[in-house]
C-alpha cells in the first residue's frame, strides 16, 4: 500500500496537494487562452474594446452594430465573475440580469470567455460582482 495521498505528496502533506491543485488550475487557464486564441484567429478581426469599469448594476458596454458578425467577451479578472446579456430579449423587452436574478444573462467566470456569432448585432450590457471590473470585447464585422 502506498503512502501517497490523492494530492500527490506523502500522506498528511497538504502542501503537495495544494501545489497540484494550483498547477491544474494554471494548466486549465493556459488551455482556455489557447482556445481563445484559436477562436480569435478564425474571426475576421474587427477590433478590441477594453472596458475597465463594469459595475454592479447592469449597463450597456457595446452599442448595436448591424454590420457585426461575431463577438467574444473575455473576463480578464482573476477573481471576479461578470455577466453579459443583450440589452433587450427576442421580443424587445428590456433585460437587466443580476447575480440574484440572472435570467437572460450569460455568466463569464474569471479568465473565461464567451464567443457569440451570427445574431449578435444588438447592444449588449454587463454587470460584475465587484464594481470597476474589467471586460475585454473582441468584435468582428466581416
pLDDT digits (tens, 9 = 90+) for 121-142: 999 999 999 999 999 999 988 7
pLDDT value at residue 13: 52
Q: Which one-letter DSSP state was computed for residue 3?
A: -
Helices (H) and strands (E) counted in the chain, each on its own, are 1, 8
Q: What is the pLDDT of residues 105-116, one digit of tens each?
A: 999 999 999 999
CA–CA distance from 9 to each of 19, 49, 105 (Å)?
A: 9, 44, 41
The CA-based angle 72-59-47, given to 5 degrees, is 30
Dihedral angle at the C-alpha atoms of 14, 19, 25, 28, nearest 10 degrees?
Answer: -130
* 26-46 tens-digit pLDDT: 666 666 655 555 555 555 557
Name the β-bridge partners of 106.
Answer: 84
Question: Model-level pTM?
Answer: 0.70
Amino acid at each position: 500500500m502506498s503512502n501517497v495521498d490523492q494530492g500527490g505528496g506523502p500522506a498528511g502533506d497538504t502542501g503537495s496537494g495544494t501545489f497540484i491543485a494550483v498547477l491544474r488550475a494554471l494548466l486549465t487557464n493556459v488551455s482556455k487562452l489557447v482556445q481563445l486564441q484559436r477562436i480569435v484567429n478564425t474571426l475576421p478581426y474587427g477590433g478590441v474594446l477594453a472596458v475597465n469599469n463594469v459595475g454592479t448594476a447592469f449597463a450597456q458596454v457595446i452599442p448595436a452594430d448591424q454590420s457585426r458578425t461575431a463577438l467574444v467577451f473575455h473576463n480578464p479578472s482573476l477573481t471576479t465573475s461578470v455577466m453579459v446579456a443583450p440589452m433587450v430579449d427576442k421580443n424587445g423587452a428590456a433585460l437587466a440580469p443580476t447575480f440574484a436574478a440572472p435570467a437572460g444573462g450569460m455568466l463569464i467566470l474569471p479568465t473565461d470567455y464567451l464567443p457569440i456569432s451570427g445574431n449578435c448585432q444588438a447592444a449588449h450590457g454587463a454587470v460584475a460582482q465587484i464594481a470597476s471590473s474589467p471586460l475585454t470585447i473582441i468584435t468582428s464585422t466581416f
